[in-house]
Amino acid sequence: MTVTPSKTDSGAVVSGSVTVTNPNDVAITATVTDALGEVTCPVSPGTVEVPANGSATVSYTCALASVPTGTVTNTASVSWPAVAYVPAGSLAPSAVVDFGAVTPTETDSSVTFTDPNAPAASYGPFAAADGVQSVSYDHTWTGTAGTCVDFTNTATLSTGGSDDATVQVCRAAAISATKSATGAYARDWTYTVDKTGPADRLYADPVTGDVTADYTVVLTPTKHDTGATVTGSITVTNPNDVALTVTVSDVMAGATCQLTSADRTLPANGSLTITYSCALDAVPTGSVTNTATVSWPATGFVAAGTLSPAASSRLRCGLAVGDQRDDHGNRPGRRVDR
């Protein structure tokens, strides 16, 4: 806060008196006028009786339009008619006033000020004679997350003047990112069959001609897992009043990933969802973790930043592997005796 005094000089007047002295034994009547340059100054009274062997005094006041910077000369005119043995006559008495030596009547020569957000209830007094004076103090404003807010602070002088200052406080809200991941792969089965029968000669019943032969059939399944993929989405949320342009990448070990949506504009107070797809080099045996990187440059009141959302997924087979059967209704790997 800076207090700057500014003087305004006004109401300049020159006032005084004119005294007429009569050393004669006969009274005279004098007429008095007064002027300061082109300014006519009222005289009270304008006509005065000056007694014999006496004097009379009148007063005058000159109101000036501006305050002079140096000396001014005030001149009166005194005249009287002939009376008895005193002839008519006139005089022009004058007086010089040095405004440089005049002490003005001051109003508001000092001032105080108040500020509702300042630590002290009031400050000052500040004397005009001391010139420009400054006071510094701090105030803590609390911003609103995600936006900019204008705060206006007003200082008011005891003389009635005031001035304000507006500060804009911006507070960034945290940007967040989440990620989803769904794994899948295809499983294909192939089979081998091995059948064995009695190694020795069989003898049929002489009466019926029948004989029982024991056979063994072994089915051996082999699985082939291929086409492992991880797909999902990356969602970035922006709770700020300023839109951002994001850079997104997606990486997973042993896989080739690509983003499948093109928009990279993160709207103000909104969200952006980007889809991705990863083709794995091989089908993993357990869960896998996929990590994305989301970054943005400093924009408006939002600082530059980076996030690394991750998601884990256990791949699911696209076939129902728990109930594979051959053409005879047998489950893989089962020994069949016939």
Domain ranges of the chain: 2-101, 110-171, 178-317
Q: Which two tokens stand for residue 85?
A: 């043995």
The predicted model scores a pTM of 0.64
Nearest residue to 18 (alpha-carbon basis) of 37, 39, 32:
32
**How do strand 182-196 and strand 316-317 relate by DSSP bridges?**
parallel
Whole-angstrom distance, CA of residue 44 vs CA of residue 14: 14
pLDDT reported for residue 7:
86
Q: Are 76 and 30 in contact (CB under 8 A)?
A: no
pLDDT reported for residue 318:
60
Nearest residue to 234 (alpha-carbon basis) of 285, 277, 273:
273
Q: Which two tokens stand for residue 65?
A: 């339009």
Same fold, 2-101 and 178-317: yes
pLDDT reported for residue 314:
84
Instruction: For domain 178-317, give the fold.
Output: Immunoglobulin-like (2.60.40)
Three-state DSSP class for 240? coil
Q: Are 42 and 100 in contact (CB under 8 A)?
A: no
Whole-angstrom distance, CA of residue 131 vs CA of residue 269: 51
Q: Are 217 and 336 in contact (CB under 8 A)?
A: yes
**How do strand 110-114 and strand 147-157 relate by DSSP bridges?**
antiparallel
pLDDT reported for residue 327:
43
Assign domain 2-101 to its CATH architecture: Sandwich (2.60)
Whole-angstrom distance, CA of residue 26 vs CA of residue 17: 23
Q: Which two tokens stand for residue 235?
A: 């969602």
Q: What's the distance, CA 315 to chain centroid?
A: 48
Whole-angstrom distance, CA of residue 320 vs CA of residue 203: 46
What count of other Cβ atoms lies within 10 Å of the Cβ of residue 238? 23
Task: Sort 180 into a burial class: Cβ within 10 Å, 0-12 / 13-18 / 19+.
Answer: middle
Which residue ranges in the chain fall short of pLDDT 70?
317-338
pLDDT reported for residue 3:
86
Peptide bond into 119 cis (omega under 30): no
Whose tokens are 């069949």? That residue is 336
Whole-angstrom distance, CA of residue 109 vs CA of residue 159: 10
